[in-house]
A and B are shown apart, each in its own frame.
Chain A
């Protein structure tokens, strides 16, 4: 029969499984117990569309969709080689979700691949609805607010990291792929960085790091300074601050907490509503509530500026989940700033650093290349150097084949 995907089987369990997956069973002879399974499932799925979460002005504009087969095709068309290995695992007692673990043989470290496969096979769950289920269940540290797998909807990004030697996980029904092992700095690298000239890309990346640092620290510093360390600010600036705060009935910590929570509220409301209503809410919240609360004397306008800027800063992270984390970790810092001022901020910053130091992604250090310091990997971390300077694959991944760019001359090193 000229039909693709024919399966002959005698096994009644398999027969049943395949029937439930949309196959037709044809039995020729009852005595032989053999059946032919013909694939007849009507796979309705969304068309491949523009990436919406990780939008980029330049570069490919395809995003993953909910169908695993389409997603695999999107990756395979970018890597048409025999070494691209796909391992499929069925997970979930109820959902029977197909999970594909993809890597390139000869480049990816076997250990990484086996860790991922092992962790997925060990899962004893009922349902896998989305790839984020998998990422939460197989993370190294399940209690950390930091994501340890990068979540992306761009097939081009997945293809690129496969070439770096990383492992990619795709889940049927999920329009997002996971990739690991990942490092902290990777979460601040937009994939668009690679489409721009390296000087511009590096500048943008540094801006992003600065924005995130600013976003975490600025409100705690405001609270610490205005609660304890007035002397820290020069005379002229202090007068500006005092004028903006005069007549405000709340202590700085309460003021900051209220405003931060208002921003979170706006974000949450915007996220839950349809796009157009969400925009309106943003305008109403941002402009009307902001101005009104300053005019009513509930908050100082300096703090309003700082909180709005820090919210903006947290939105610069290209990976959505990291942005959430950045917004969350501001609150413990705020409280510590209220209790012991600048020293409290330092201590909680230390806690943050230690937490990052202790984190691993698939057993590889998360803070690499900052610690353990690896100069080579620094070429694509805080800044991105041109491609010809990145002849080797990142050390972090411990690839089997480390050379990415063949040298032109036959020179060593």
Chain B
């Protein structure tokens, strides 16, 4: 009896694994690219990047695989990099949230002549010390932060204190966003309070509430991603906080953010155009690996501001998966 059960389970396992391979086995002659990131399918932001990647791969008839932890992990990138190099890729796109972790692997890729393009988050060290990537496709976090701050000040000149919750401790890109906001606010003498939250929606809503309690004069908040924005909406609706009391701007996009902009709960969001990051990374990996073409400079995919004036059209595009 127990032997039969073992057999059934073994057949199940082999069957599932075989079907995974079945999908993979068909594609072997095409150029093979990997996009390695510090996040994956558990995060709406990355889903849009992944759609861009998949669309470009289908368009160019190449193989592109996404390698990243379900929600967020910098450390997981180390193993993915080694695995990707072992698969003899034609090119690799990578995010660079903690450059030291992948430094060794990126250098091995460079030594082997494999094109490496940084996307979404780049090593901010000066050229020479920086990871040897070809160029960067993504937003300038600092400039985006400045754009958010200018937008906030234009809409509400009497800002007293700005809250800036950070959801991924140690992420240089998120810090750069806060720095950009701070650089403009500092000109007006407005303090920016940073604190740490998590990817857990309700836990973060509580933490945001705590921060408002600790800073009673805070009347503006800048969230650094869709998850934190939702946490703020949860906090605001539970505590009846109106847009007059606290003005909200956020980085990145999501249906909830667009809805909030449409009904006035949020002032604006900066779109770093994640779809473009996935799409263009594959396109340039293709052009680079096949024809040795590359642009002269980094390619900035943002900031592109979404506010009440254009949110209607953006909502349609969001439903189609492009924004």
A and B pair up: no
